[in-house]
Each structure stands twice: as structure tokens, then as C-alpha cells.
Amino acid sequence: MNKEKGIMNKSLLVIIIYCLFLIPSFCFAQNGQAVDQVMAVVGDKIILQSDIEKQYNQYLLQNNNEVKDDNIKCQIFSQLLLTKLMLNQAALDSVTVTDGQVESELDKRMRYYIKIFKTEKELEEYFHTSVIEIKAELRDAIHDQLIVQTMQGKITKDMTASPADVKNYFKSIPKDSLPYINAEIQVAEIVKIPPVGEAELKRVKDQLEEYRKEVNDGKDFAVLAALYSQDPASAKKGGELSFFERGQMVPEFEAAAFSLKTPGEMAPLVFTKFGGHLIQLVERRGNQINVRHILLQPKIQEEDKIRMINQLDSIRKLIVNQSMTFEEAAEKFSDDENTRNNGGLMINPETGTTSLSPDQMDRILFFQIDTMALNRVSVPLLMQTEEGKQAYRIVKVLSRTQPHQANMVDDYQKIQDACQAEKQNKTLKDWVDRKRKSTFIHINSDYGKCTSLKDDWESAKN
């Protein structure tokens, strides 16, 4: 519903909450290093010239460098001032987020990026750096974004939209301004991932132990990683992952890596959701370590694939025969952690809702369900997990809408969300107006002829 909300939401604050910090800053370095001049102080928070330039370069990238407009820099500066105002107040109010929240959002963001670029390798090639370095660059920005979102929630927690509010809000929209709603689909799934057989696990273990023996006999670990590791991003760097801290890797890998003390030392074999790893320490630097690894991914045997297909077919029969609902079967049988606890419903990563437009879905899945009748359960379908593993699923299409102009019957929830957002935005604007008057704010005189800054920030101090 991004397009509709873009029409209905009028406050600039929405842009702050949802649009900042989406892309790593190093992707936008242009013409050498930006000059780090302090452009503003908000409480005890500062805004650097380079902060503005990074956001401006992001704008240029998204617009193919076609439209260069200094007024955009003024808008970015104003957005950063608002963000720093919220961060400053959050510190005064002791508003915090946990490391777990940051890592969860970071993982979700990375899955979204990888989905856009199709594979992790293509993502790394586009940004000319590793996923680990991208995550390290994003971590602090996501922390701040979550703080701002938490502050926003604290400020607007009592703002709700009653049926009467929704009705009046809808009536206030001119007929020719009603948003056009794209086609949307609600899909539920039950996923089964074929297990790795003992014989295949033994093959991977034996092969990794053979590589360990070769390294102990004098072969270069980096050469073996480049030749045999199935992690293409690190293989081209001799298996090296670059420096990382605790909390950046999956737990099993991290535990093995941080157990190493001496450069060249190799850890006992460890298996993660990505496969088997042989890990060698390159260097320790304070709380950070750099390791190399060789990744081997176990292969799924044909008999195990057939077994999963048969299991899904049996689950399908239970649902079709009404011995179990789809929701109950998803909770009991699905291997997908993201969907099994909400009835199997797929989540739109862009909106957080269960409505997906065709262009937001996996193309193969869309073609598989495009002609399916509502509430029919499909036969087992081949799929690929986020980790690149082969899996199978059965799906059910719960609802399907055609493109249409917004109306109170089909789109009540969307209209209610937009109405509530407008009320929240007004509450936010009032809060910002009050805090600008009571917070120390100094803007560098070099900020240029930004009338919006003069009107919104300087006048607020008078």
C-alpha cells in the first residue's frame, strides 16, 4: 500500500522514520572523501556535512544522477535535524533497544537486499564488499532508526482511529484523489526442507578433515578455500571474512571462531544452516577477529526429496479432508520459522502486512498460483529457501483483488491505517514543535539559503 500511503500521509516525519539509513553509506562515496564539517548541533547530537552528502548521493543514485537539486540537500538536512531531535530526546528519556532487536532487523534488512539482488554474491559484487562489511556498516544506522521508531511509538501510542474517524477521513478525500490500489494476493504456505542424510554429512566431514590434514602438512589454507569453498564471496579472498565482532555471525560459527587463540589455529568442524565449516584464525584485534573458512554444503539425496514430497502430499490430504486446518498444519509441520506461527501467511517485507502485489512475489511462485482458485491447496511445489537450500511447499491462496480505486468495502483496513497515520503525524508534528523550542539547536551559518530550515528551525527558537 506504499503508493496509497504516499498520497494519504502528508507529514515529512514519515519520510524520516521509513526512508533514512536504508543503504550502506560507503555505497555513495563520490569524488573522494566528504568534508566532515559540523553543520548542526541538536542537544548533544551533531550532523556532519558528510551525513548530508551521503543522503544526497543516495538520492542521486535512485534518480540515476538525472536531477541535481540543492533544495534536496535542504530537505535532507531538515530530516536529519528531526532525527537528531528524536535521538536526543530518546537519550534523555532513557529509550533503548536491545542488541537482539538490532540484529533481528539487520538480518531482515539483509534478506530483503539479497532478495532484490537475487543472490548474496550479486549483492556483494554490486557493493564491491562482503555481506559482513555491509552489515557492519548498517548496524549503527539501524540502531538509531529503531530508537527513532521507538520514540515515535511512545509519542503516538494513544492515537487510534475509530470507525467514525475513518468514515470522516474517507469523506474528506476528493473523489478524484482516491488512491488506486494495485492487485494484491494473500498466500499461506507450509514448507518442508529435506533433511541431510548421515552418509552425506559424513562425506562433508571427511572432506573437511582431509583439507585440515593438507593444511597441517603444509598446504596454504587460502589456496584450498579459493579452490574448494562453496562460499563464493569469501572464496575469492582465500576464504577470508574480514574483521567481525560477537553477534555478527550465526551462533555455531561464532562460538567456534572465537574459541581460536593463535593465528593459523583451526577450530573443530562446525555445522550451521549454511553447511559445514573448517575455520582458521587469521588475526585477533581487541574484540574483533578475522578468520578464513572453507564451506561445504551437503547435498540432498533424491530419496530424501521424494520423502518430503510424500510428507507434504499427506499433509495436503489431511487439510483437504478437513482433518486439520491449514493453519494448524502450518504450526505443526512447517519448517519455515517466518510463517509457521501465523497460519503460514507470507509477510510482505516492505509493508509488514500479509498482502503481496504480484511484483513483490517470487516470480515462479506467482506463475504457479496465478490461476489457482481461492482456498484450494496446491500440490507440492519446488522452492528455494533464503539460505539457498532446495525445499518444497504447499500453498493456499486466501484472497485475490483486482486493481481498483480505494473504497470502504474492500479497503477499510488500509483507509483506517491511513487515517490513524494522519492522526499520529499531527501528534508527532505538535511534539516536534514543542521540543524544538526547548532543545539547544545550533545550525552552521554555511547551511546556505534553505528557507525551510530558517522557517522551521530558526523561527522555532524565537
Distance CA 392, CA 377 (A): 14
pLDDT at site 111: 76
pLDDT at site 259: 94
Cell numbers 475509530 label which residue? 162
pLDDT at site 67: 59
Q: Provide, rounded to the nearest whole percent, the portion of the chain with pLDDT above 70.
A: 87
pLDDT at site 15: 33
Over residues 132-147, mean pLDDT: 87
Distance CA 340, CA 223 (A): 42
pLDDT in tens, 60-95: 766 665 556 778 888 889 889 999 999 999 999 999
Closest CA to 278 of 310, 231, 323: 231
Name the band, by pLDDT with cuts 50, 70 and 90, for residue 124.
confident
pLDDT in tens, 149-163: 999 999 999 888 999
Q: State the burial class of residue 284 (Cβ atoms within 10 Å of its Cβ: 0-12, 13-18, 19+).
A: middle
Cβ-count burial 195-217 (b if 16+ within 10 Å, e if not)? ebeeebeeebbeebeebbeebee
Name the band, by pLDDT with cuts 50, 70 and 90, for residue 3.
very low
pLDDT at site 22: 42
Q: Is 327 helix (H, G, I), strand (E, B) or coil?
A: helix
pLDDT at site 63: 67
C-alpha cell at 296: 561445504
pLDDT in tens, 177-201: 888 888 889 999 999 999 888 889 9
Distance CA 390, CA 198 (A): 18
Give 81's strand partners: none
258 vs 59, more confident: 258
pLDDT in tens, 253-311: 999 999 999 999 999 999 998 899 999 999 998 888 999 999 999 988 888 899 999 99
31 vs 307, more confident: 307
Parallel, antiparallel or unpaired: strands 275-285 and 270-272: antiparallel
Closest CA to 192 of 348, 381, 361, 364: 381
59 vs 327, more confident: 327
Q: Is 436 helix (H, G, I), strand (E, B) or coil?
A: helix
pLDDT at 29 over 70: no
Find the angle CA(240)-CA(110)-CA(239) to the nearest 5 degrees. Answer: 10
What's the mean pLDDT when you consider all of the chain? Answer: 84
Over residues 371-394, mean pLDDT: 89
Name the band, by pLDDT with cuts 50, 70 and 90, for residue 388.
confident
pLDDT at site 459: 56
pLDDT in tens, 311-366: 999 999 999 999 999 999 999 999 998 898 999 999 887 777 888 888 888 888 98
Long-range CB contacts (within 8 A, 24+) of 414-419: 414/1, 414/4, 414/181, 415/166, 415/169, 415/170, 416/161, 416/166, 417/1, 417/5, 418/4, 418/5, 418/8, 418/9, 418/169, 419/161, 419/165, 419/166, 419/169, 419/170
Of 30-44, 152-166, 400-414, the one with minimum mean pLDDT is 30-44
pLDDT at site 50: 87
Q: Provide, rounded to the nearest whole percent, the portion of the chain with pLDDT above 90.
A: 47
Asked if residue 251 lies in contact with residue 100, where contact means CB atoms within 8 angstroms, the answer is no
Domains of the chain by start residue, with CATH: 2-178+408-461 (1.10.4030.10), 183-194+301-402 (3.10.50.40), 198-296 (3.10.50.40)
